[in-house]
Structure 1
Amino acid sequence: MISFITKVLLDLQKQNVNFSDITFVLPSRRAGVFLRKELSNIINKTSFSPTIISIESFVEELSQLKALTNTELLFQLYNSYIELTPKEEQEPFDVFSKWGQILLQDFNEIDRHLIPQKNIFEYLSAIKDLDHWSLNPNPTDVVNNYIKFWNKLYPFYKHFSKSLINQKKGYQGLIYREAVENLETYIQSCSKRHVFAGFNALNTAEETIIQELLQNDLAAIYWDIDKIFMDSSYHDAGLFTRKHKENWKYFQKNSFNWKESNYSTLKNINIFGVPKAIGQAKTIGNILNSLSEKDIKNTAVVLGDENLLLPTLNSIPKHINAINVTMGFPLNSIPLAALFEKVFSVQINNTNNYYHKDVIDILKDQYLSTVFNNNYTQKIVDIINTNNIIYLSKEKLLSLSLNSEQNDIINIIFSNWNNNPTLAIQNSFKIIQLIKNKLIEDRKSNQLSLEYLYRFNVLFNEIDRLNKKYNTLTNIRSLYNIYKELLSSETLDFQGEPLQGLQIMGMLESRVLDFETVIITNVNEGVLPSGKTNNSFIPFDVKVEKNLPTYKEKDAVYTYHFYHLLQRAKNVYILYNTEIDTLLGGEKSRFISQLELEGIHQINHQIISPEVPNYQPQLLEVKKSEALVNQIKRLANSGFSPSSLTSYIRNPIDFYNQKILGVKDVEEAEENVAANTLGTVVHNTLEALYLPLMGRILTVDDIKNLIPKIEKYITKFFKDEYKEGDITKGKNLIVFEIAKRYVLNFLNFEIDAIKSGNEIKIIALEEKIEGIKINIEGLNFDIDLKGTVDRIDTCNGMTRIIDYKTGKVEQTNVTVVNWEDLPTDYKKYSKSFQVLMYAYMLSKKTALKFPVEAGIISFKNLSEGFIKFAKKEKPGNSKKDTNITEDTLSDFEVELKKLITEICNPNIPFTEKEV
């Protein structure tokens, strides 16, 4: 393969030109590196190197203006805005920056295409005037301000461009316009010959400059275009080149260099549909693994999305040692960016108390973890979770710190920055310095992290310089916007040998370059090409009328770049995402469809799916070792409770994790009161209210006297259980009121029962039962039972064992048909099992007078009253027996012993149940 650059040099050599007297002007600096390499292969004698320069640098030299960064231009534009706008109408910088960016882009396009400025701005103003009913005698303030804005665009432009020129500085469009103004002077003083190579889409300023140099015999131009694209009247890859050939007077008398026939040569084109970005990165690795070492040296991986860079680097086969990355790693993808994102987020809210999840996120950040050890962070997490602290103050955090370094970082991050951008910048420097001091203790292991810190230090230095120079940042939000603007444009550049090994680049870096093997990723609509994005104040029809580029031209640019990569390549791999994502690109690109419809090449189109192992989920099984059996014996000796046994019925693995291993659920702060907290509060409140009434027959007055005490006890027990959590607003206030209503409804229910003639006497509240021995044949160790009964009373002489439930319970939940089902079906019989076990334990502890009743009072179903345990003879039979007798407990005892025997049997493993 003879590359385009080589062909240009050979043609010039054939003309016996002196390369030392030539100025090569190329679309990018990177192309110049490859040109210099090819030149060294062609020239066989010692000579001075020609001038090799990018088009941007060439135009900058012509204009005598220095290009400013986009961020500094925004500050300059804001200065012009402030000077031309009455004080009462001025917007703060953070609001201005949102539309100021768009205005800068429009100024840039207007100047690059040499549009008469006054003409287009007055034209736009007139259009907007008509759009908003200029003949309306009583326009609204909104309409007036809108029209005023459009009328000010030309004054803004004049003031802004004039102030920049006075400083010998400019934005790209202004530099191009000034270059055209200076062109005649340059031509008169110029002696060198210029060679323009590899251009495609040229703005009006570039066209003017190149044509003038061509007409004055000071330049030659070489186009890198294929005959197929040029000869087609509709193919977008040749859109611009066709226009240049047709419209430039130079080509009426001079030859057009060149139309080639490389695209139609035999190519191995593979199109792979791959799910998601990571799938594409892994596919790149597989393709590279199949290439020889010789092929790798002439291979380019072109990433349609820069976010794919890191996954791609991690997927490159280990045997590929030489890699050259030209696109740079985005600074906003570095983990350190996440830390400053969190810090700015808590400070923008401008508060002295910080949301607990934000605090934990910051303390657990990988960079701050060098300052905050795990003990401190875990200590804070435990205190937050235990006390339900939703918001923390700086003082609280300081009270728990372990050393002066921790004090310093807490004082910096969690002090109120008072919405002061200068203080925010100073504190950002301090954060960087504190992290640096810890990292340099092990400099060798932390080289990359220290490089990250350095780049962020440079970034904040630039923000500090801009803030001091222009003094327009008035709050932390405006500072944050500038930080994000700079962060999005900064990259961490890789060091490597640009002419060796595998080349990884973005689409624009591929201009003028040729490779035998090309891998292109993210070839999806919305990515390649990017689609109908229109971030501009200038309407589409005005752009068309004034010959300004629209999305049509932008798509044509990417079409050219895409097909240029294919022109001289022999092996092409095109990857696209099969998973449609409206944010990151839709279906496969039109480029793929066009390739397939052209019928020029044989194309291998495959959908690649990741290899999914044939995994058959298996239920977890834990065999009972001798140590495990001993642990079960200890648990049996300490006592089985109804809740522990029903947890085994629900899922033996849960029982194993919770009761044997002692694994607890992860404790988290309750932002909203949890159901178990509500239940505890209601239980404790009823115990406190009824405790003075123990041992006596209840009267209506007794219960009525309890009602005024409800709020006091509910508040007390919420404070005990919910600690420092706030129950005065939001969902928690609703739960607080629900708790009050539950208790009040229960008291009213009790009053109604007494009024109906029922004689109720409280026997016990929250009765703890322990040490109940049970002998099971075949088990030669002690087995105890334990539990706590919510309430024991008598109603008309009948003993009742009552369990409170804040959830909804119905009669079917406490009705048993077959005793054998009791220890097997958790959903149906867990509540029956619990109340029967309470009755069983009480019968062992005291001499119960049979029959007794056991059941549930459901606060969500209070209309059902006391829902009694019932035994049905047959499933369809409505006859139920609610009396619990010795025979009932004897039948229950059989199932209880079976269940405990199974738990203790060393030959029966703990087996997970299917959910």
Structure 2
Amino acid sequence: MIKNAPVFRGVFYFYTMASYIQEVLKELISSNQNISETIFILPSKRAGSFLLKELSTLSDKSIFAPKIYSIEEFTETVSGLHGIDNTTSLFEFYTVYKKLTPNEEQEDFETFITWAQSLIHDFNEIDRYLIDYKNFFDYLADIQDINHWYVKKEKTKLIKNYLAFWHKLPEYYKALANALLANNSGYQGLIYRAASEKIEAYSKTQTRQHVFIGFNALNASEQKIVQYLMEQNLAEIYWDLDEVFLKDRHHDASLFINQYLKNWPIYQQKTPKTGVKEYAKPKEIALTGIPKNIGQAKYLGELLASLDEETLQETAVVLGEEDLLLPILNSLPPNVKDLNITMGFPLKNAPIASLFDKLFQIHQNSAEKFYYKDVISIINHPSLQEFLGVSSSKFIDKIQTENIVNLSETEITAEFSSDEKELIAACFKDWSNNSEIALQSFQQIINFIKTHLKEEKDVLGLEFLYHFHVLFNKLRNLYESYPYLQTIKSLYQFYKEIMSTESLDFQGRPFKGLQLMGMLESRALDFKNIIICSVNEGVLPSGKSGNSFIPYDLKQTYKLPTYKEKDAVYTYHFYRLLQRAENVHLLYNTESSGLNSGEKSRFLTQLEIEKQPAHKLTHTMVSPLVPAIKTQLREVKKTPEIMAQIKALAGYGFSPSALTSYIRNPLDFYRQYILGVRDKEEVEETVAYNTLGTVIHDSLENFYKPLENKFISEEDIKNFKSRINKEVEAQFQKTYGSGPVNRGKNLLIYEVAKRYLTNFLNLELDRLKTDEIKILSIEEKLKQEIEIRELDFPVAIRGKVDRVENTNGITRIIDYKTGKVLQSEVEIVAWEELTSDYKKYGKSFQILAYTSMMEGQKNLELPVEAGIISFKNLKNGFLKFGKKDKPRASSKETAINKETLNAFHLELKKLIIEICNPEIPFREKEI
């Protein structure tokens, strides 16, 4: 729901609006021109379709349809050349480049295309504007020479090569043009230039009248063609621009047309076809600021929901940004039953596109093994899940259980059935940096998926698959025709190049229902109701952008289009859409930071400043209606089933870890120990801290276990030190599985483990100089029954103590910690705080719990000492538990006696009673 969302304001008039195409046709019919013998040229094929539709409504008798061309089709007809796409142009250009460049100076194909695309774009501009290429490139080379002028007489080799490149441009241009013309083909600019050169010959073969409709920014070639045909009385051009803009010579909307009216000689003899008077008529124009693109899509859905079917029939939604297409399609309300989408669905947004993209990426760098995340992303891809579901899940479990970081092709394929092996092999076999193998693999994947998809169920999936089949066939044809796509990297670059332009065309009724289109598709079309999205600077108009080698001043000199002219093109399209519209909604993104952000377009400011008297402008800011969400700490009441689980856990024995987990957050205790929910096992790429702790604990257990009930000697410790390397290696292999420990961070952690053990054993040697140490037990499992009269079921605590020793007659209970522990963390002041603050007293609670269990199970002779050895704080040695009377007191009681344990038992019982009380729910703690 959008807050403050206005609907179309004003009245919707339901008489049929006269479009500009309709007005032109009426004029031609009234002048008794033979429409069937007329040739119409329009900016796009879509405009041609609308012309035929309008003609069918105007004609009261059957006639033959006239010939209708888009401007690109017309220039191809005049020139006799067929157009080639940008990809083919690049291949042809590289062929020319190799012929003209000595072998030792040639760049590989991947490097070549980084600059060749911009150069072809410049060639295209030079041809479209009929510029003398030789003089132009000489001028450009001289500019570069001046830019790289410096005091030294001799130029460096780098500068010489750089300047030589600029001097070769005329040669490149001429050779490419000749090569293409020899095959009767050309890029767009070359076709335009050829058409302008052949227009005289073409006109001699024609007697039919040519009518140009809906044009604005004509390049020099188009101007020459139109003017020549007009001079021969073979053509007329109709300018669709309102007098409001024509009279304002400073308005960008009239920039081009005013130039033509002033400069074309033909208009010295005849009156131009202008005279549009629509813009000043009454219009409802709503300017609406909305945060984010998704906000625009949702708001648009609410606008459309308020319209009836008849109004929708005369409504067009124009997208400033094509990325809005999917959000808008997902936001359309139920009343939009008929929809015609002019723009296609980008193939790069198809679900299977990410699978092919990932395969390209993992095969670009040839390696013996594949990274586990890459493997999982492919076998778990939605496009393959239907066929590999069970097998892929089992394989992923194995990867995580065995901690496999890198996998070979053999290891991967071995986990799948014979039916699935073909697909898996195509994905993971060695492509050897060979484009042919890659293309074969992609087609194998497509064929496998195709045979497993059901035609009636997966219509859209099959349609996407077919388009990728065509795309890879196109790449194969390029690979076979030109010997340049030899590496996976070069193939991937061209795959992305083709993908950026490929789209899946929507099927619909072109003249029925809501029209959804881009700005350029709206050329020569008129609608009563207009909604334009993303009317922001950088979108409408597009701003200063362009990939060209030609500097700005040179473009100005030769009258090539700069960003000013490109902005004027957008200005014309924007205002022309508004000319005949009666209800207009202009939406813009109000976000000033982040992706897809920016200020509102200057067009909106111009509308406000240049407001026509009959226009009604409203400016609204809307935002999503976000309800206030109160953050409440969760709680879980103890049901009979939960109480049964708690009693079972109490009988089995609460561990110190479980009890401190409850102290930290009762909800965590509930999840882990009542529900049994554990964190999902993941592949450990870098050795985790708990893994390092396990390695240290298990190594020390293996060293000291044989010494139970024995005194330690220096020879024992020296023996342990000699076994460190072998022991650590064995423990890592047992704990870390197949994870690599011989490189990167893991190697550092591996060395840290050895250093920890070495430092600890050195500490033991220092102690033996003054202390007599007897090992009483290592990693001993303990369990103690706790008598709690308030509970009618047995309760116990259990655990495993790392080490119990006797040092100079004093029993010590020791807990190892691989992290850093300070002395203050094993000291308490008030006993009631022991179960209230996990961070401060969690470690004290644990070591007291171990002491209590030892005393209960082994009948220890009290007093004893208990504490922690921190491997990150070994310089402080054994950190003893201590009881202070005051927080800042310097003295403390470190001996644990019966009184200490009784005080601990009192707090322990309170904690267990709380856990077992059915009236006290598990309440989440605010962390």
TM over 0.5: yes
Q: Which of 662, 686, 703 pairs up with 1:672? A: 686
Q: 2:536 — aligned with what?
A: 524
Listed one character per residue, the Cα deviations across residues 83-126 of structure 1 (whole Å, up to 9, x for unaligned) are 11112222222221221211111111000000011111121122
Q: 1:447 — aligned with what?
A: 459
Listed one character per residue, the Cα deviations across residues 332-356 of structure 1 (whole Å, up to 9, x for unaligned) are 1111110100111111111220011
Q: 2:302 — aligned with what?
A: 286
Secondary structure of residue in 2 paired with 1:225:
coil
Quick one: distance in 2 between partners of 1:153 and 1:134? 23
Q: 2:246 — aligned with what?
A: 230
Residue 850 of structure 1 and its aligned partner are, at CA, apart by: 0.9
8 A Cα contact 2:342 2:506, kept in partner: yes
Pairing 1:383–2:398 present: yes
Q: 1:588 — aligned with what?
A: 600
Alpha-carbon distance change, 863 to 602 in structure 1, aligned in 2, over 3 angstroms: farther
Pairing 1:898–2:918 present: no
8 A Cα contact 1:527 1:585, kept in partner: no
Residue 259 of structure 1 and its aligned partner are, at CA, apart by: 3.7
8 A Cα contact 2:137 2:170, kept in partner: yes
Q: Which of 478, 488, 512 pairs up with 1:476? A: 488
Quick one: distance in 1 between partners of 2:870 and 2:429? 49
Q: What is the one-letter code of the residue matched to 2:751? A: E
8 A Cα contact 1:230 1:259, kept in partner: no
250-259 vs 691-700, which moves further: 691-700
Q: What is the one-letter code of the residue matched to 1:759? A: E
Secondary structure of residue in 2 paired with 1:53:
strand
Q: 1:717 — aligned with what?
A: 731
Q: 1:851 — aligned with what?
A: 863
Residue 513 of structure 1 and its aligned partner are, at CA, apart by: 0.7
Quick one: distance in 2 between partners of 1:583 and 1:283? 19
Quick one: distance in 1 between partners of 2:174 and 2:255? 34
Q: What is the one-letter code of the residue matched to 1:11? A: E
Quick one: distance in 2 between partners of 1:458 and 1:450? 12
Listed one character per residue, the Cα deviations across residues 668-697 of structure 1 (whole Å, up to 9, x for unaligned) are 111111110111111112222223433233
Q: What is the one-letter code of the residue matched to 2:404? A: I
Q: 2:807 — aligned with what?
A: 795
Q: 1:626 — aligned with what?
A: 640
Q: 1:467 — aligned with what?
A: 479
Quick one: distance in 1 between partners of 2:408 and 2:229? 68
Pairing 1:747–2:781 present: no
Pairing 1:686–2:700 present: yes
Pairing 1:395–2:407 present: no
8 A Cα contact 1:871 1:882, kept in partner: yes
Residue 582 of structure 1 and its aligned partner are, at CA, apart by: 6.4
137-146 vs 495-504, which moves further: 137-146
113-122 vs 90-99, which moves further: 90-99
Pairing 1:731–2:745 present: yes
Residue 516 of structure 1 and its aligned partner are, at CA, apart by: 1.2
Alpha-carbon distance change, 118 to 582 in structure 1, aligned in 2, over 3 angstroms: farther
Q: 1:761 — aligned with what?
A: 774
Quick one: distance in 1 between partners of 2:404 and 2:155? 53
Listed one character per residue, the Cα deviations across residues 414-470 of structure 1 (whole Å, up to 9, x for unaligned) are 11111111111111110000011111xx22111110111001001111111111112
Pairing of 1:176-255 with structure 2 (within 5 A): 176-255=192-271
Alpha-carbon distance change, 802 to 638 in structure 1, aligned in 2, over 3 angstroms: same
Q: Which of 710, 716, 719 pairs up with 1:705? A: 719
8 A Cα contact 2:241 2:276, kept in partner: yes
Q: Which of 78, 97, 102 pairs up with 2:113? A: 97
Quick one: distance in 1 between partners of 2:771 and 2:177? 94
Residue 633 of structure 1 and its aligned partner are, at CA, apart by: 1.3
Q: What is the one-letter code of the residue matched to 2:180? A: L
Residue 176 of structure 1 and its aligned partner are, at CA, apart by: 0.5
8 A Cα contact 1:108 1:172, kept in partner: yes
8 A Cα contact 1:639 1:784, kept in partner: yes
Q: What is the one-letter code of the residue matched to 2:764? A: E
Secondary structure of residue in 1 paired with 2:764:
helix
Q: 1:778 — aligned with what?
A: 790
Residue 701 of structure 1 and its aligned partner are, at CA, apart by: 4.1
Pairing of 1:554-573 with structure 2 (within 5 A): 554-573=566-585
Listed one character per residue, the Cα deviations across residues 364-385 of structure 1 (whole Å, up to 9, x for unaligned) are 1111112212x22222222222
Listed one character per residue, the Cα deviations across residues 542-591 of structure 1 (whole Å, up to 9, x for unaligned) are 11111111111111111111111111111111112222356535222222
Pairing 1:258–2:270 present: no
Q: What is the one-letter code of the residue matched to 1:62? A: V
8 A Cα contact 1:526 1:584, kept in partner: no
Pairing 1:71–2:108 present: no
Residue 133 of structure 1 and its aligned partner are, at CA, apart by: 2.8
Q: 2:555 — aligned with what?
A: 543
Q: 2:327 — aligned with what?
A: 311
Question: CA-atom RMSD, angstroms?
Answer: 1.5
Q: 1:408 — aligned with what?
A: 422
745-754 vs 363-372, which moves further: 745-754
Residue 502 of structure 1 and its aligned partner are, at CA, apart by: 0.2
Secondary structure of residue in 2 paired with 1:372:
helix
Secondary structure of residue in 1 paired with 2:873:
helix
Calculate the TM-score normalised by the size of structure 1.
0.97
Pairing 1:48–2:61 present: no
Q: What is the one-letter code of the residue matched to 2:747? A: L
Residue 134 of structure 1 and its aligned partner are, at CA, apart by: 7.9
Q: 1:806 — aligned with what?
A: 818
Pairing 1:505–2:520 present: no
Q: Which of 429, 448, 458 pairs up with 1:434? A: 448
Secondary structure of residue in 1 paired with 2:711:
coil
Residue 300 of structure 1 and its aligned partner are, at CA, apart by: 0.6
Q: What is the one-letter code of the residue matched to 1:425? A: L
Residue 129 of structure 1 and its aligned partner are, at CA, apart by: 2.3
Secondary structure of residue in 1 paired with 2:352:
helix
Q: Identity over the aligned pairs, expressed in percent?
A: 51
Quick one: distance in 2 between partners of 1:912 and 1:493? 53
Q: 2:25 — aligned with what?
A: 9
Pairing 1:325–2:341 present: yes
Q: What is the one-letter code of the residue matched to 1:152? A: K
Secondary structure of residue in 2 paired with 1:260:
coil
Quick one: distance in 2 between partners of 1:902 and 1:325? 64
Residue 136 of structure 1 and its aligned partner are, at CA, apart by: 4.5
Alpha-carbon distance change, 247 to 581 in structure 1, aligned in 2, over 3 angstroms: farther
Q: 1:616 — aligned with what?
A: 630
Quick one: distance in 1 between partners of 2:500 and 2:870? 58
Listed one character per residue, the Cα deviations across residues 1-31 of structure 1 (whole Å, up to 9, x for unaligned) are 3211111112222222121121111111111
Calculate the TM-score normalised by the size of structure 2.
0.96
8 A Cα contact 1:394 1:411, kept in partner: yes
Quick one: distance in 1 between partners of 2:670 and 2:854? 27
Extract unaligned runs of 5+ from structure 2.
Answer: 1-16
Residue 471 of structure 1 and its aligned partner are, at CA, apart by: 2.3
8 A Cα contact 1:371 1:405, kept in partner: no
Quick one: distance in 1 between partners of 2:880 and 2:603? 73
Q: What is the one-letter code of the residue matched to 1:500? A: K
Listed one character per residue, the Cα deviations across residues 480-532 of structure 1 (whole Å, up to 9, x for unaligned) are 11111111111100011100000000110001111111111122222222211
Secondary structure of residue in 1 paired with 2:382:
coil
Quick one: distance in 1 between partners of 2:766 and 2:656? 32
Residue 729 of structure 1 and its aligned partner are, at CA, apart by: 1.3
Listed one character per residue, the Cα deviations across residues 249-296 of structure 1 (whole Å, up to 9, x for unaligned) are 122222222143322222221222222221111111011011122110
Quick one: distance in 2 between partners of 1:606 and 1:746? 71
How many residue pairs were aligned? 909
Q: 1:123 — aligned with what?
A: 139
Pairing 1:171–2:187 present: yes
Listed one character per residue, the Cα deviations across residues 168-211 of structure 1 (whole Å, up to 9, x for unaligned) are 11111010010011111112221011111111100000011111
Residue 856 of structure 1 and its aligned partner are, at CA, apart by: 0.9
Q: What is the one-letter code of the residue matched to 2:391? A: Y
Q: What is the one-letter code of the residue matched to 2:470? A: V
Q: Which of 880, 889, 903 pairs up with 2:901? A: 889
Quick one: distance in 1 between partners of 2:370 and 2:429? 10
